[in-house]
Amino acid sequence: MACIDECITYDNCFAIQMEWGMGTCNLLTMIRDYTWEEAQCSYFVRNDATVKITGRSLDGMDQVIQNVVYASKNVCPDGWTVDSDSEECALTLDESVCDEYAAFLGACYDGTDCLIPLLNETSFE
């Protein structure tokens, strides 16, 4: 319970990864996607609000991932910046990490940054 309480008090915490054998946990500030493994139940996702984006219909865990990625309801996910050249959201990271983002987010690598489409205020329902 201490890990959950810590995550709740830390604004940028979106999930917890429990390390059962060690009795510790990691607070996660970014989630890219998920893989369902029934035997692997060590992650707990903080799902405070539903974020609906016009033209995008999601269900189940895809909706939860979108809720976390766009929790701030900004035009770019938390931690990303607006790339003025491409008019997309940009985050500098390796191509292999960029490829881990959920397909519905539309992430692509431009040789330097990971880019996803820039939303606007009318994107949120």
Q: How far apart are CA 108 and CA 99, in angstroms?
A: 7
Q: How far apart are CA 64 and CA 51, in angstroms?
A: 9
| All structural domains of the chain with their residue ranges | 2-123
18-39: pLDDT as tens digits:
877 777 888 888 888 877 766 6
56-104: pLDDT as tens digits:
889 888 998 888 888 877 889 888 999 888 789 999 999 999 999 999 9
Phi, psi of 103 (to 5 degrees): -55, -35
Contact 71, 51 (CB under 8 A): yes
Q: What is the pTM of this model?
A: 0.77
Q: What is the CA radius of gyration of the chain?
A: 15
Q: What is the pLDDT of residue 125?
A: 59
Strand order in the sheet with 43-45: 24-28, 15-19, 43-45
